Amino acid sequence: MRIGLALPQYDYSVAGESPLTFATLLHYAQAAESYGYDSLWLSDHLFLDIKKYGGTSEPQGAFEPIATLAALARLVPRVRLGTLVLCEALRPPTVAAKALSTLDRIADGRLDVGLGAGYYEPEYAAIGMDLPSPGDRVQRLREATEIIVALLSGENLTYSGDFFSCTDAHLDPPAQQKPRPPVFIGGKGDKVLATVADVADGWNTCWVWKPEDYRARANVLDRACESIDRDPKSVVRSIGLYALVGENESDLAARFERLRAVTPAGVLDSVSLDQWRQGRLVGTAEQVREQVAVWAELGVETIILGAGALPFQVGALEDVAALSEALKDI
């Protein structure tokens, strides 16, 4: 099992620091690399509010992922770097492919490319675009993925779709990885999983999952693969999970109370530890390792840890270290 970390990226990500500074983001990235994490991840929003998690509706600032990963690539030289996930609407796919191929070269071939259909209506309004219907978003994602995969593979591409087209597009210089940087799609709906089977190397879903629910979605993906004669095992699978580990139950409870104290108001106010650990990677070191073994049995190859109670929040650097220690050599 490979272990990744969702880096702090938003103005809510680190308690007491808003706006978030690059120095802090870099500190967490370098610490995670020193702890032995295999990969580091950033998401893709122009800004983000946390209303749906019980917090404020006020937009929170965010670091743009491609530019930020390019900076990190020269400062954290070992770990893989990934997007979890790029919103297709924010960049034309040919332009996204160009930026990603450049990033792969800057990172010396350490890039994982995650793509998604998008959902956050305020940022669509910010770019002057109506939020497309779910069906159109999935079709846009399919076309964008087809274009990005072809270009990252070194093709000279002419393409005509319902939403995107290009003529004799190519990347010069090309991506460093051969045959290309791996491209995965994030999501869980039937049409998204069919798109994964058709056009992507891998699948990711985040941040709260019970194994039985994940197994049901994985079975949908397997059937989609089988319907086009693709080996389901050829789909690389990762999952993002909120995570917290303690030396014992008392230590775990203390760490949860610390997390509650540094998490924005409304998110954990009425949530108990017993409630919060459901669908998350939470427990003593032994319990967490047992949970990881279950995910491995389900075909997950990488677990990306969210060491907080919100996406790309980090409760404490000490928790990042403790998770790494609990999961080393797993």
Per-residue pLDDT of the chain (330 residues; tens, 9 = 90+): 999 999 999 999 999 999 999 999 999 999 999 999 999 999 999 999 999 999 999 999 999 999 999 999 999 999 999 999 999 999 999 999 999 999 999 999 999 999 999 999 999 999 999 999 999 999 999 999 999 999 999 999 999 999 999 999 999 999 999 999 999 999 999 999 999 999 999 999 999 999 999 999 999 999 999 999 999 999 999 999 999 999 999 999 999 999 999 999 999 999 999 999 999 999 999 999 999 999 999 999 999 999 999 999 999 999 999 999 999 988
**In contact, 80 and 39? CB cutoff 8 Å:** yes
Neighbours of 158 (CB within 10 A): 11
Token pair for residue 207?
């941040």
Query: How does pLDDT run across 54-90, given as a tens digit for each residue?
Result: 999 999 999 999 999 999 999 999 999 999 999 999 9
pLDDT the model gives residue 238: 98
Neighbours of 212 (CB within 10 A): 8
Nearest to 180 by CA among 64, 69, 100, 80: 100
Query: 50: domain range?
Result: 2-327
pLDDT the model gives residue 225: 98
Q: Say how many domains are in the chain.
A: 1
What single string gives the DSSP state of each residue in 86-123?
EEGGGS-HHHHHHHHHHHHHHTTS-EEEEEE----HHH
Q: How far is CA 129 from CA 125, 144, 244, 311, in A?
A: 5, 17, 38, 25
Q: What is the CATH number of the domain that holds 118?
A: 3.20.20.30
Nearest to 303 by CA among 38, 35, 28: 38
- CA dist 315 and 82 (Å) reads 21
Token pair for residue 57?
């509706």
pLDDT the model gives residue 222: 98
pLDDT the model gives residue 203: 99
**In contact, 171 and 98? CB cutoff 8 Å:** yes
Neighbours of 210 (CB within 10 A): 11
CA angle 126, 96, 28 (to 5 degrees): 80
pLDDT the model gives residue 104: 98
- CA dist 276 and 185 (Å) reads 27
Q: What is the C-alpha end-to-end distance of the chain, expressed in Å? A: 6
